[in-house]
Structure 1
Amino acid sequence: MSTPRIREAARAVVLDENDRILLLRYNESGKVFWATPGGALDPGEDYQTAVRRELGEELGVADVELGPQIATRTKEHLVQGEAVQQVERYFVVCLAASRVDPARATQTDGILTWEWWTLTDLSATDQTVYPVGLTELIDRFLSGGAPDVPFAFTG
């Protein structure tokens, strides 16, 4: 049995002026879920550059100021049928909802739709949202700022 290849990825916890979070809806091999914007690093790219590029590609947003890294996540899963060990870093991005324009997106990567969620709606949903524990992470950030050490998601 071989070890899955490492796939580094940068993700954005995008919050608007009303503290809503932007989530993207995907259908991968019949599995429908919501997730934060982001994706794999290109060769030679750092996490910050990757998350800015991904926001442009997926949401049509340019010139984004990144906030702090607030979390990490390591998870084995399938990407286009290949088992990978995905290593993610999550960065806060605060921007006005009106700046998001998927019509300007250049690479939608199978995104079905996007939606702004309140924390109340997010905590009450029965839909699958990744990463598990996102609501608590955002709540901690909004009430206490960025952690000294990024939170480590376990799932």
Structure 2
Amino acid sequence: MTDSAATSEPAAVLRKVARVVLLDPDDRILLLHGYEPDDPGQTWWFTPGGGLEGDETREEAARRELAEETGITDIELGPVLWTRYCSFPFDGRRWDQDEWYYLARTRRTEAAPRPQALTELENRSLAGLRWWTSAELSAARETVYPTRLAELLRTLLDEGPPRAPVVLAPEVV
């Protein structure tokens, strides 16, 4: 190892993430409402999901994260719809993520699913959950991630899942 290599900053670790596009029988999508822990006025909506733990697969992580964040376990997990790279600041650090979005269906339609096992950070940064229709999502003036989710959902509902995962443009905030 050269002296310059020993003093250089470590490369960012790319976090592997599984996310879930959960649809109910009425084709509503479930989104979580998050905020910056040190600035609760900075909010956004996003799909359930999170990082892989240990040697679990992305499918296993998708199911676990959905259960932890929503309490919903009775799902039919479908194909990977989309993949994307994203990088964003949150809670005082930069997060670099390789995200896979799985389609899932549930028969549950209660108004407000309840988180079951949130991390300390999630407890400090989640305001709730909500089912959205495609029309509500298209009309939303709030920040939603991925940023094209309304369009992506409309295409999914109109055309069905893609034959192969669609690679979304990177999002760097």
Q: TM-score, normalised by structure 1?
A: 0.90
Residue 5 of structure 1 contacts residue 83 of structure 1 at CA under 8 Å; is this kept in 2?
A: no
Measured at CA, do residues 45 and 78 of structure 1 come closer, stay the same or move farther in structure 2, by a change above 3 Å?
Answer: farther
- Residues matched between the structures, number: 155
Q: Is the 8 A contact 1:8 1:86 kept in 2?
A: yes
Cα distance, 1:90–1:98 mapped onto 2, change above 3 Å: same
Amino acid at match of 1:122: L
CA RMSD, Structure 1 to Structure 2 (Å)? 1.9
Q: How far apart in 2 are the matches of 1:47 and 1:73?
A: 14
Counterparts of 1:29-108 in structure 2 under 5 Å?
A: 29-30=38-39, 31-98=42-109, 102-103=113-114, 105-107=116-118
In the alignment, structure 1 segments of 5+ residues that lack a partner are none
Taking structure 2 as the reference length, what is the TM-score of the superposition?
A: 0.81
Q: Per-residue CA shift, 1:53-107, capped at 9, x if unaligned? A: 0011011112432011100110112343222320000001111233686446121
Partner of 2:22: 14
**Pair member with larger Rg:** 2
For 2:54, what is the secondary structure of its paired residue? coil
After TM superposition, give the deviation of residue 145 of structure 1 in Å.
Answer: 1.5
The residue aligned with 1:113 is 128
Judged with a 3 Å threshold, the aligned counterparts in structure 2 of structure 1 residues 118 and 99 are, in CA distance, closer, same or farther, namely closer
% identical equivalent positions = 37
Could you tell me how far apart the structure 2 residues matched to 1:148 and 1:65 are? 18
